[in-house]
């Protein structure tokens, strides 16, 4: 049989090498995400120091060799967890500060995105807060760099609001540290992850924030 009908009844087309590599990369990313999510829960429950690679592998249901294929050490897993709450917000949230709008509008958008990311990554935030000292100096410096950049961008939008007269004059460096500390504190007490919970937290924190920022 030849022609279009033969092509329709033929077996599935083979993926190109590029498609195969793309599929493998996607599976690798998904597996690494699964590992870091599971490891974060274990670290939060038992403490980083009391958990071994075998514990993580057993919790996920994979062989130790497979775990080591993705992460050469427990510290590398902790580093990946810390990146989800430092580098990830830089990539996902900070573009909101580059969007059109007043400093008030841009900061409001950032607060909403920050709280929603924190709710989604609550366990990772707690692990990063308590276990960051266990990172190597190199990894700790990288994490600190993301945190400092995020803080600097918040400070810049605050300073812009002060120059425009939207925000009352104060030390923008101290203000940015205080705002981020207030927002990150949500991870220590909130339990729900529903949209209604996020909406209420965002609305409340925006009201508190701008009550202190608005110029008289």
37 and 92 both lie in a single domain: no
166 and 125 both lie in a single domain: yes
Q: Is the pTM of this model over 0.85?
A: no
104 and 61 both lie in a single domain: no
Give residue for tokens 């949230």: 93
Among residues 72, 95, 118, the one where a domain terminates is: 72
128 and 200 both lie in a single domain: yes
Residue 32 lies in a domain: yes
Per residue of the chain (216 residues), give pLDDT as tens: 555 555 555 555 665 555 555 556 778 889 899 999 999 999 999 999 999 999 999 998 998 899 999 999 999 999 999 999 999 999 999 999 999 999 999 999 999 999 999 999 999 999 999 999 999 999 999 999 999 999 999 999 999 999 999 999 999 999 999 999 999 998 888 776 555 678 888 999 999 999 999 977
Instruction: Report the number of distinct structural domains present in the chain.
Output: 2
Which domain does 19 fall in, by range? Answer: 14-72
Residue 5 lies in a domain: no
Write the CATH number for 114.
1.10.357.10
* Alpha carbon distance 88, 82 (integer Å): 9
């Amino acid at each position: 049989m030849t022609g279009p009908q033969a092509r329709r009844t033929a077996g599935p087309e083979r993926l190109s090498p590029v498609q195969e590599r793309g599929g493998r990369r996607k599976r690798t990313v998904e597996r690494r995400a699964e590992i870091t999510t599971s490891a974060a829960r274990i670290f939060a429950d038992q403490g980083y120091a009391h958990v071994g690679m075998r514990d993580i592998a057993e919790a996920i249901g994979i062989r130790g060799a497979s775990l080591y294929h993705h992460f050469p050490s427990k510290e590398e897993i902790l580093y990946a967890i810390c990146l989800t709450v430092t580098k990830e917000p830089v990539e996902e949230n900070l573009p909101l500060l580059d969007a059109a709008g007043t400093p008030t509008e841009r900061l409001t958008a950032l607060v909403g995105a920050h709280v929603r990311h924190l709710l989604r990554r609550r366990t990772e935030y707690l692990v990063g807060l308590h276990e960051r000292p266990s990172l190597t100096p190199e990894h700790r410096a990288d994490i600190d760099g993301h945190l400092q950049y995020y803080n600097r961008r918040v400070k810049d939008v605050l300073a812009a609001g002060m120059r425009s007269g939207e925000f009352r004059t104060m030390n923008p460096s101290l203000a940015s540290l205080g705002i981020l500390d207030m927002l990150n504190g949500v991870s220590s007490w909130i339990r729900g992850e529903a949209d209604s919970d996020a909406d209420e937290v965002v609305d409340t924190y925006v009201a508190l924030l701008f009550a202190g920022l608005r110029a008289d």
